[in-house]
Chains A and B, each alone.
Chain A
Amino acid sequence: GESVGLHLPTLSVQEGDNSIINCAYSNSASDYFIWYKQESGKGPQFIIDIRSNMDKRQGQRVTVLLNKTVKHLSLQIAATQPGDSAVYFCAESDSGSRLTFGEGTQLTVNP
């Protein structure tokens, strides 16, 4: 399953499928990007980050892709599990301590 567009708020996938969550950013000066996962009643939890000198970074079951040409960021989750159900936020920073969050995508994993 894949979310498209900046303002799509929800993504529903079947357990075991791969998920792709997309994020567009507007600040060309942004050089640091983070994906956070936020479960209901909890604060945002760090998933993975990437700096602008990289195009791709992999973690455990997650991959972040950065396309600076079109200012686009994506989070790929392999073999999505019910525990992955949450709101996912991308965030960007431009050489400072101000981290700006995107609108978020609600990921629902169906068993």
Chain B
Amino acid sequence: DTEVTQTPKHLVMGMTNKKSLKCEQHMGHRAMYWYKQKAKKPPELMFVYSYEKLSINESVPSRFSPECPNSSLLNLHLHALQPEDSALYLCASSRDGTEGEKLFFGSGTQLSVL
């Protein structure tokens, strides 16, 4: 069982809605990640937080807004999304975001934008 917990598991939202995805880990990891995964495709990196600071933003549109309130929590705020943003959103954590670490993934939030 994964030690990275994501909520909700499923989310349906309209293009004018505002919603948030939540992620929590209690492994003492100091790096947390958001990935986006389309069906039958590999996960694509969106954001990396290391020690609660945003260290990587892979040119993600501003309608996706990450937040790291503390080292255990990671949120992804969604606003004015498009249907093409429908995907599985995966949260992951690792020891501290430095060289060559394994990532531990949650089960994801399956997002549908109508």
- A interface with B by C-beta (< 8 Å): 9, 31-32, 34, 36, 41-46, 49, 51, 87, 89, 93, 95-104
The answer to whether B101 touches A97 (Cβ under 8 A) is yes
**CA–CA, A101 and B43, complex, Å:** 7
The answer to whether B94 touches A42 (Cβ under 8 A) is no
A-B contact count (CB 8 A): 66
Give the residue among B50, B100, B103 with the most A Cβ atoms within 10 A: B100
The answer to whether A44 touches B31 (Cβ under 8 A) is no
The answer to whether A102 touches B42 (Cβ under 8 A) is yes
Please give me the residue from chain B that is nearest to A41 by CB atom: B107
Contact mask for chain B residues 30-48; partner A; CB cutoff 8 A; 1 contact, 0 none: 0101000000111111001
Give the residue among A31, A34, A43 with the most B Cβ atoms within 10 A: A43
B84 proximal to A (CB < 8 A): no
B66 proximal to A (CB < 8 A): no
* A82 CB to nearest B CB, Å: 20
B11 proximal to A (CB < 8 A): no
